[in-house]
Structure formats: structure tokens, C-alpha cells
Amino acid sequence: MFKKISYISSLFLILFICTNTCMVQAFQTTDNYQTADNYYDAINNISYSDPYTALDLLSKAHSIYPNDERFINGLNEKAELILNWSRGTNLKGNYTDACQGYTTIINTQGVSEYIKDKANILYLIAKQKDISIKDVLNQPENFNLIEQYQKYYMDSGYQYQSIGYYDTFDNYLSIENAVSYTDDTIIKFDVKGIPMVNYSGSYYYNPVTIDQYALSYYNIYLNSKKTNKENLYIKQEFLNAADWLIDNMDSIGAIRYDFNYKHYLDDNEFQPGWISAMAQGQALSVFSRAYHLTGNKKYISAGNLALNFLTTKTSQGGPMDNLSFLGNQMADYIFFQLYITDPPSYTLNGHMFTLIGLYDWSNISNNKDYSDKASAYFKKGLLTLKYILPYYDIGGFVCYDLGYLTRPGTPPTVNFDYYGIHLTLLDALNIITGENDFKYYRNLWTSYIQKY
């Protein structure tokens, strides 16, 4: 702080007045220190209560002495301190100061990328100016674990695919490249060629597996350069699976699972007859293509019935939930549950696959009432997705669901098989909507696994 107090013999006499020791120290940091030890001593003389000044000087020292562990460790220690302070400020509703702390970390050279990733996602949450989901700000930091996730993903040969184009009646997410069906110990086929999945030694029909089997064969049919006879076989495989979905849909449009299932979040085992929004949503993608291929209105009737059940609230026995468990004021945000659990799981890929199905059904012609209904729920589901996406980001990697928020003490669930699926779905939703939110997260989450 400078204050001009008088003129003496045409010279300026400047009096430096400072009532805060930190301000003096901040001014002194502009000096050029001669050695690394001089920098280190100056940093140690900065008050603990002024980590911003220390962080700035550490960054300067690190740029000159990049291999000095004192500056590397000091940068990360001060960045973590600012991160924790900013979270506390965020919890108090002071979003401006919280964002300042987060952006300082993000913009400071030399800070660990893992700390920056965490600061970035907390910044995105703070920008929403909502502390309804407080638990996300109280999670323990696992920077080393995040680094292990990223390295394991790339070292293990996991792949993800971009899709440059999406159309309801064209290729479905290149799913034939991601899913393989072989007659082995995991999958076997019934006499009609419908896949069954091995669960605990017994084979059962899984509606989502059959949805995806159908869509894979639809893609193969579109891409096929085989003979007419072989093409007819491929087409019939698709239609057989579509017809199975119709034959196994109940009177209210539910395509149910006929086996027990234990979800890690729920204390109670699912009993035969349980449901899934994803089974309903992907069935809409199947029926839209089956109708396009054949013109048979039975697929329209089946799709409309499936849509009605899909949009039935969980409180009424359906798969459509909302975010009220995370905060009462979020009851207007709908969510399509892959698994109906207690507490809610909010599985990311299930919601996104369902949105694709709603979009597909909104494009069916001569079916205005139901197409409009599908479009309306698609738009509502998109609003939810845009709001909740940052909560799946654990600061450098992506979790499978929000069980870590809905059941206290539960660590984030990471499923490496679904990381690339999340990217593909975000790619598709960006293409469909043109909304940059989905492109942003697609690029952000891709960057996490491109570090290796």
C-alpha cells in the first residue's frame, strides 16, 4: 500500500504504509532471490494464513528450480490447503471466494494435475451456486488412487470410441464393436437364437442384453456386404430379438427381469420381476428401428406401451425417479434409474442410454402424442444430466453411480468397462443436442485418460 505524503525539493517522498504483514511479504515476493535456499527461506517466512502469497512464490521458485523437491512438495501442500479452505467457504455459500480459490489452483504453474483436476470440478460445482449435495465437498482426497485409476485404464488396453454422427434410424452407437456375443460359459442362445446370460450357474434372459443384441444386429445389417440370403438372416436375427421384447412385455409395458439380483447399495435382494429404465429406454431404440425397417405398427404399439411404463414414477412402481434424495429442492429433476435401489444409485450410463431411447422415440412419425411425450421427457432428462454431471467426477476419474453420496461411508464405485461408454454417450448427446455441456465433459473426461 503506497501513500504520497508531501513533495520535497521537487522530489517525491513516498511513505509505505502497511497494516498487514502479509501485504509487506506479498510486495517482497517481487524481489529476485539469488539462490534456491533464499527462495525457500522467504517462503518459510510467509504467514501460514497467507497461502496464496506462498503459492505464488513457490510457483516462481519452481519455474527456476523445477527439480527441487522442496518447491514441488510445497506447491502441492499449499494448493491442498487452499483447496480445503475453498471447500469450507463453498459450504458457507460464499461461492465467489470459493471460485477464486479454485481458479488460483487451476492457474498456478507447477501444481499437481490431480489437485488441479479436483479444483476444476469443485469450481464447476461452485458455479452452480448450490450446496444441496454437501457430501461431495466432504469427500476424502485420493490423489494417488486417481493416478492409479488413470494409469490402470490405459495400461490395461481399455478403449473408447467417438461417433461422428447419430441418427435414430441409422447405426446405434457402433455398439457391435463394443459388445461380443459368443456361445460360451457366459452367454448361450435359446432355440430361437435369443441370448441368455449366466448368473450363478443358471442362464436367464436379461432385457438389456437382448436390447443390445438386437441393436448390434441392426448395425451389422446396415453395414453388411453379404449376399441377400445372409442379409435376410441378419435382419431376422434383429427382428427376432425385437419380437422377444414384445412377447415378454407385460400389460403395463414393463419388460421385467425373471431372476434375483443383489445390488451393492441395497440391503435387500431384488426379487424376480424387478425393472430397469435402461431396459425400457433401449427397447425404444430397438422398436424405432424395427418399425423403420418393416413398417409394422406392432412396434409402434409396443414402444408406446414401453414409454408409458418408462415414465411411471418409482413411487408408483416405475423406473422414473428424481433427485429429491439428494435435496428436497431438486425434486423437479427427473432421473431414469437403471436399478431401483434403496438408497437411490443414480447410475450414469443407465440414465444416458434411456435418454437416447427417448430421443429415438421422439422421431417416430405418425405417432404425435407419444413422440411429443418422449421429446418432453428427453428434454427434462437432459436438464438433470447437465446439472448432475460434475458429481460423477471425482477429480481426475469418473464414478459409475452416486452411491458414494447417497450412502455415507461408501467409496466411489469405479467401473473401468463403463468409462469409455460414458464418453461415447456424451459424444452422442452432444451431436443430438448441439449443447456444449456434453462436449465439455466428454473432452474433460477424455483428457484424464490421455495423460498416459
Q: What's the pLDDT tens digit per position in 207-262?
A: 999 999 999 999 999 998 777 878 899 999 999 999 999 999 999 999 999 999 99
What is the chain's mean pLDDT, rounded? 90
The total domain count for the chain is 2
CA angle 62, 67, 73 (to 5 degrees): 65
26 has a pLDDT exceeding 60:
no
Higher pLDDT, 79 or 25: 79
pLDDT of residue 27: 38
Q: Which long-range contacts (CB under 8 A, 24 or more apart) does 174-178 make?
A: 174/219, 174/424, 175/212, 175/215, 175/216, 175/219, 176/216, 176/217, 176/219, 176/220, 176/223, 178/420, 178/421, 178/424
Domain assignment present for residue 137? The answer is no
One domain for residues 358 and 313: yes
Kindly give, in sequence order, each residue whose CB lies less than 8 Å from that of residue 416, ignoring residues fewer than 6 positions away. Answer: 149, 152, 153, 156, 158
In a domain, 336, yes or no: yes
Does one domain contain both 382 and 346? yes
In a shared domain, residues 126 and 168: no
Q: Are residues 93 and 163 in the same domain?
A: no
Query: When comparing pLDDT for 13 and 72, which is higher?
Result: 72
Residue 31 pLDDT class (50, 70, 90 cuts): low
**Least confidently predicted of 178-192, 271-285, 361-375, 435-449:** 178-192
Determine the structural domain holding residue 205 and report its residue range: 153-449
Check pLDDT > 60 for residue 28. Answer: no
**What is the mean pLDDT of the segment spanning 140-155?**
87
On whether both 67 and 214 belong to a single domain, the answer is: no
pLDDT at 178: 80
Residue 329 pLDDT: 85
Question: Residue 85 above 80 pLDDT?
Answer: yes
Q: How does pLDDT run across 86-120, given as a tens digit for each residue? A: 999 998 999 999 999 999 999 999 999 999 999 99
With beta carbons less than 8 A apart as the criterion, state whether 176 and 161 touch.
no
pLDDT of residue 140: 76
CATH code of the domain containing 62? 1.25.40
pLDDT at 180: 75
Which pLDDT does position 103 carry in this prediction?
98
- The answer to whether residues 435 and 340 belong to one domain is yes
Give a yes or no: residue 14 inside a domain.
Answer: no
pTM of the predicted model, to two decimals? 0.89
- Tell me, rounded to whole angstroms, the distance of Cα 187 from its chain centroid: 29
Q: Is residue 144 domain-resident? A: no
Question: Looking at the structure, do residues 118 and 193 belong to the same domain, yes or no?
Answer: no
Q: Are residues 183 and 117 in the same domain?
A: no
**Residue 418: CATH number of its domain:** 1.50.10
Shared-domain flag, residues 127 and 229: no
* Residues 127, 161 share a domain: no
Copy the grid coordinates of residue 117. Answer: 483436476
- What confidence score (pLDDT) does residue 17 get? 31
Higher pLDDT, 80 or 159: 80
Cα separation, 365 vs 388, in Å, equals 32
Q: How confident is the model at residue 128 (pLDDT cuts 50, 70, 90)?
A: confident
pLDDT at 276: 99
Query: What average pLDDT score do residues 25-53 get?
Result: 81
Percent of the chain with pLDDT over 70: 92
> Pick from 96, 131, 166: which residue ends a domain?
131
Confidence of residue 183 (pLDDT cuts 50, 70, 90): low
Same-domain check for residues 232 and 263: yes
- Please write the tens of the pLDDT for every residue from 331-344: 999 999 999 999 99
296 and 160 belong to one structural domain: yes
